[in-house]
Chains A and B, each alone.
Chain A
Amino acid sequence: QVTLRESGPALVKPTQTLTLTCTFSGFSLSTSSMCVSWIRQPPGKALEWLAIIDWDDDKYYSSSLKTRLTISKDTSKNQVVLTMTNMAPVDTATYFCARSSRCTAGRAFDDWGQGTLLTVSS
């Protein structure tokens, strides 16, 4: 059974750096065609993709946010970490991590974490 769990602060101040951790089980991120992504959803709004890391350590970022994002993985700990710099109130959202087992064919996300709500406020 695949599970993913997001962890991180519930509140950050503007200009601070956010660090989110996705801890997963039930699969290995060193297996070919696996990848893990971060996706966010502001309250009442649509899903917004942020970043993705592949089994072979290829990384891809949203063009609108790439200067602020860094994604990394620790295969031994079954974790994927996302850092986002210079946080602002517009970054208030639920942040999800999600897994795809089809990262060579469309990258549909089979499994999602429950999400973690982040508020950016002074």
Chain B
Amino acid sequence: SYDLTQPPSVSVSPGQAARITCSGDDLGRKNVCWYQQKPGQSPILVMYQDNHRPSGIPERFSGANSGDTATLTISGTQSMDEADYYCQAWDSSAFVVFGGGTRLTVL
């Protein structure tokens, strides 16, 4: 099996940078993507292939992936960014793997 570990929660003040991590064995060798999910809604892809933003995703979202850790950074966090965030990767034996999710709170 292959596991992705995320912190359950991250808090940030408006206007500050939020960093959400996702850890897995040798994760830097895999393509990582990130989803944002607000209550009662379907997930939205906010980052793919580590650091590529889909069309329509604000530039304040960025991604990095190296070693065992991938990071989603939201610069200048806004109240609308408050949501659950999930990382996801493809593993050759476990196939599609999701992290446990991180609740981002904008205080």
Contact = CB atoms under 8 A, between A and B. Distances in A.
Interface of A: 37, 39, 46-49, 52, 60-63, 96, 98, 102, 105-110, 112-115
A46 B43 CA distance: 11
B15 interface: no
Interface residues of B, number: 26
A102 B52 CA distance: 12
Contact of A37 (B54, B89, B96): B96
A112 B42 CA distance: 7
A106 B48 contact: yes
Interface of A is mostly: loop
Interface in B33-62: 33, 35, 37, 42-45, 48-49, 54
Given A105-B49, A110-B45, A60 B95 contact: yes
Contacts of A114: 42
A39 B88 CA distance: 12
A39 B99 CA distance: 13
A106 B98 contact: no
Considering the complex of A and B, which 5 residue pairs feature the smallest CB-CB distances, nearest first? A106-B31, A108-B33, A108-B48, A49-B96, A112-B42
